[in-house]
With several copies, the nearest count.
Chain A
Amino acid sequence: MQRNHNHPKICTVEKVIDETPTVRTLVFSDDVMANVLPGQFAMVWVPGINELPMSVMITDEPGMAAFTVRRHGPASTGLYNVKAGQKIGVRGPYGNSFDLKQGRLLLVGGGTGLVPMMRLLTFVKPEDDVTVLIGAKSKDEVFFEGMAENLLKQNKHQVIVTTDDGSYGNKGYVTDMVDKLVSENHYDGVYTCGPEIMMYKTVQHAHSKGLFVQASLERMMKCGVGICGSCCVGEDLVCRDGTVFDGKHLLSNKEFGHFHRNKAGILENY
């Protein structure tokens, strides 16, 4: 049967990894999803429950892909509860990717926003000097630190963790660390994905220093292909124009960092 990337392809979850008490990684086989670009996402159908957008996570086996999901509302909890052997539907990949510079790079991720950052790390050149900044509320919400270290074995690099409560790594908001880093260093590229307020401040800090910065946005998504309109941010459609946007463009968008639309399409404050 031919594949249509807008039609859910059924995949069996083969392995489930607990990352934190609320975050799990579900691993499955699929050649297309194994080879998406960093920032690209899939619409993931949990039969009988819901369908939700998920960044496509890397795995250490060729031909395998994964989703790293935090349980939150009913949809994400449904996915979180999928056991090995169960089936999910996957369509996509959707969206664009990061414009990866060379030289000194700063990656800023929070929570499951680390997913596209991990994939981005698989694309850096051995000559690149890479700083990964991981923000979390507290120690038990930190994950992918070891993976980042591992992916950067060949590089000059540092992996910095900040926790709001100081229970691990540096104490404080990750965006304060961004401010500090971009004030002290030049970066050829700054990349961020995570809570919108984190991305907003990261983009502001980096942009104010004249750095090239990109963020991968999240919005309510129904179609993933630019039909339904639910993911619009100003005149941009996150699913089709993004999810990755240049910081410069984002700062001219009056909704970025301030509003998102609810399921009825009404603007709500972040």
Chain B
Amino acid sequence: MEPSLAASIGKIDLERPIMLASGILGISLDVFNRLYRSGAGAVVTKSLSKEPWEGYPNPTILGLKSGGWINAVGLSNPGAPYFAKMIEPNTDVPIIVSLVGSVPEDFDFMIKQFANCKVAAYELNLSCPHVAKVGLEVGDDPELVKKIVTVAKKSSDVPVIAKVGLGTTHYLNTVGAAIESGIDAITAINTIRAMAIDVDTQRPILSNKFGGLSGSPIKPVALRCVYEISSKYNIPIIGCGGVSTWEDAVEFFLAGASSVQIGSAIGDNWINVFDDINKGIKKYMTDNGFSKIEEMVGLAKKS
């Protein structure tokens, strides 16, 4: 029998275990449809705020000579109300709506905008490393996390995911706080705060100076976070960080992730990366006698 690529992240059921990560190509329903057809099991939207944000001036992204990317797009987004209207026609694509905000009420407001949309889940961005007052600055405060998760869970019946990253407090505490407040799943990790300086002009390259490191450099760190979370807590995990091959995806499954998200690899290999990874996972499963994704999840912890 052909192995199945279907993945369950708690109550979220997907036909394929790889999703588009937040912030990557995530501002248009047309593009979501295209990515879904290209093999993504779900798409996560750009993180949305209550109001439209322009984000930082360019340069906002750069590639590193040794691989990986640093970005400080600054969460530019059209705002939750506009976005909800745009995705209202959606019927096919499992869309996970990513949200940023500073206070619990922000999240309640935003989730209510999507009342008429088909939303597979909400992902709370508690981990953007380069925008003040949202993202990590929220995630680093476990008490605030508890309040936000509690409110988000109340605002709709749709599953809620918390996305964590390496901040100034221990991310495992953020995870713990989110779980205590009823979170349905965890995405780990966001980009890691980083910078690049140009030696010829002697200045930071990004307009915001600091940005978030993504791509292959952060994979080994993301992988250990997934392993640590799954060792400490019983919660569905979505692995994110540097996945660019089927082998990377499988590493995350073995570490305890039920699915993975893909961001930077699209910049390197364009969108056929979804199909390539799906095929690779399937071949691996056939070669190794797995029939379902969940048979692999957490297997590396047994050794």
Footprint of B on A, CB under 8 Å?
1-8, 10, 43, 45, 47-48, 50-52, 75, 87, 89, 91, 222-223, 225-230, 232, 234-235, 237, 240, 261-266
Does B57 interact with chain A (Cβ within 8 Å)?
Answer: yes
Once the chains are docked, how many angstroms separate the CA of A10 from the CA of B203?
A: 12
B62 within 8 A of A: yes
How far apart are the CA atoms of A51 and B207 in the complex, in Å? 9
Q: Is the CB of B78 within 8 A of A264?
A: yes
Residues on the B chain within 8 Å of A2, using CB: 65
Q: How far is the CA of A7 from the CA of B27 in the complex (A)?
A: 25
Instruction: Find out whether the CB atom of B27 lies under 8 angstroms from the CB atom of A261.
Output: yes
B-chain residues with CB within 8 Å of residue A3 when the two chains form the complex:
65
Given the interface pairs A52-B58, A228-B73, A240-B270, the reply to whether A47 lies near B64 with Cβ below 8 Å is no
| Residue B31 lies at the interface, judged by CB distance under 8 Å to chain A | yes
CB <8 Å contact, B267 and A45: no
- A and B contact pairs by CB, cutoff 8 A, 16 listed: A4-B63, A6-B267, A8-B62, A10-B201, A51-B60, A87-B201, A222-B73, A223-B71, A227-B61, A228-B23, A232-B25, A234-B28, A262-B54, A264-B77, A266-B52, A266-B82
Contact (A232, B30) CB under 8 Å given A8-B62, A223-B267, A225-B267: yes
8 closest residue pairs by CB, A with B: A6-B63, A51-B58, A264-B52, A10-B200, A235-B30, A51-B59, A229-B25, A263-B54
**Judging by beta carbons under 8 Å apart, are B205 and A89 in contact?**
yes
Instruction: Evaluate contact between B28 and A232: CB separation under 8 angstroms.
Output: yes
Main secondary structure of the interface of B (DSSP, over half): loop
Q: In the assembly, what is the distance between CA of A3 and CA of B52, in Å?
A: 36
B46 within 8 A of A: yes
B54 touches A227 (CB 8 A): no
Q: What is the total number of residues of chain B having a CB less than 8 Å from a CB of chain A? A: 47
B55 contacts the other chain (CB 8 A): yes
**A7 lies within 8 A of B24 (CB):** no
B64 touches A7 (CB 8 A): yes
A264 in contact with B55 (CB, 8 Å)? yes
> A102 vs B200: C-alpha distance in the bound complex, in angstroms?
44
B102 contacts chain A at the CB level, 8 A cutoff: no
Say how far B268's CB is from chain A's closest CB, in angstroms.
Answer: 8
Q: Is B157 an interface residue (CB 8 A)?
A: no
Asked if B78 and A8 sit within 8 Å, CB to CB, the answer is no
Query: CB distance B58 to A8 under 8 Å?
Result: no
Give the complex CA separation of A89 and B63 in angstroms.
Answer: 13
The answer, among B59, B69, B73, for a CB contact under 8 Å with A8, is B59
Known: A10-B198, A232-B25. 11 other contacts (CB 8 A): A6-B62, A6-B63, A43-B59, A222-B76, A223-B60, A227-B61, A227-B264, A227-B266, A228-B60, A234-B28, A264-B78
